[in-house]
């Protein structure tokens, strides 16, 4: 059993909960996810099974897209609504759509971001949330991230009673981006407490939320012997890499981990997907000094 399941993670579950459930459903331990989602975040969680666990870091490194909301007028220690309220400020005059667009634009491109205290980033051998739970604040160095786009999805909402304003957004970002910190940074631009009030991941690892299945659907497919309908093969998960069809002689070379001459791809693609009899058998990487393609990821046992 090799491939990727585009799983829809429900809110209230951890990514580890999903892995534990799937190990029981699929009766295999060789399962891994491609980047955690916080319990209060739902959406796309690609799950790698069998040989596909070798590409989890490749899928994890791909860009992600989220939809959510930022609420102005209050701040929480966790930067989302799961924590404790630490600041409030009445919004007497809500931002216009034009003002919001301008502020969102300031948070796009290559920017530096300080990881939140409530995160799994390790400093001095301990995760930041461990310090945070003890009431300690640790210095964190800013990290580079890339925000491809940050835009509104609909007109913002102003709550006159609570004197808060909620902005609805979609953001396309690089690996390592904390969207809740983006929400806080948005508020900092106007000296206003802010919080990420909801979040859904709609794209990750090349999979869209429309392709997702639930744990219940996976369980049902397992019971009806139709898992092949929901497990995407390696060829689909790696479709962004140019494919080269192996003949019998070159398949023999690949099956022994050998190198391939650069002539297989005149354009010298950095990474090429090698296919034999309809199955992706390996990813090979171009070695510039030696002018050959050498093994990068091998999937010789996938069926």
**Which H or E run includes 31?**
strand 31-33
Cα dist from 211 to 61, 83, 204, whole Å = 19, 32, 11
Q: What share of the chain is helix, strand, coil (3-state, %, to 5)?
A: 25, 35, 35
Could you give the CA distance from residue 7 to residue 50 in angstroms, rounded to a whole number? 16
- Residue 274 in contact with residue 241, Cβ under 8 Å? no
Name the catalytic one among 38, 42, 80, 185: 38
Q: Report residue 178 as tokens.
A: 């904390």
Phi first, then psi, for residue 219 (nearest 5°) are -60, -45
Could you give the CA distance from residue 71 to residue 192 in angstroms, rounded to a whole number? 10
CA 257, 54, 207, 23 torsion: positive or negative?
A: positive
**Does the annotation mark 208 as catalytic?**
no
Q: How many CB atoms are closer than 10 A to CB 38?
A: 20
- Kindly list the catalytic residues: 38
């Amino acid at each position: 059993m090799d491939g990727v399941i585009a799983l829809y993670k429900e809110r209230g579950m951890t990514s580890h909960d999903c892995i534990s459930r799937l190990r029981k459903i699929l009766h295999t331990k060789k399962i891994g996810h491609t980047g955690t989602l916080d319990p209060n975040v739902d959406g796309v969680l690609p799950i790698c099974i069998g040989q596909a666990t070798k590409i989890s870091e490749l899928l994890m490194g791909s860009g992600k897209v989220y939809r959510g909301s930022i609420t102005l007028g209050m701040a929480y220690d966790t930067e989302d609504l799961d924590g404790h309220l630490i600041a409030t400020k009445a919004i007497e005059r809500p931002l216009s759509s034009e003002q919001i667009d301008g502020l969102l634009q300031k948070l796009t491109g290559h920017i530096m971001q300080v990881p939140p205290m409530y995160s799994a980033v390790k400093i001095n051998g301990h995760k930041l949330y461990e310090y945070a739970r003890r009431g300690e604040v640790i210095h964190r160095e800013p990290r580079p991230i890339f925000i491809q786009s940050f835009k509104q999805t609909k007109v913002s909402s102003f709550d006159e009673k609570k004197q808060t304003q909620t902005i609805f957004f979609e953001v396309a970002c690089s690996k390592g981006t904390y969207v809740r910190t983006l929400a806080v940074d948005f508020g900092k631009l106007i000296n206003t407490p802010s919080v990420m009030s909801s979040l859904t991941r709609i794209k990750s690892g090349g999979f869209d939320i429309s392709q997702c299945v639930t744990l219940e659907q996976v369980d049902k497919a397992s019971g009806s012997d139709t898992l092949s309908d929901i497990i995407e093969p390696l060829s689909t998960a790696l479709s962004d890499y140019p494919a080269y069809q192996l003949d019998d002689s070159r398949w023999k070379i690949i099956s022994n981990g050998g190198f391939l001459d650069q002539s297989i791809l005149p354009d010298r693609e950095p990474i090429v997907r090698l296919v034999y009899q309809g199955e992706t058998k390996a990813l090979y990487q171009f070695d510039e000094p030696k002018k050959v393609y050498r093994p990068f990821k091998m999937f010789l046992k996938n069926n």
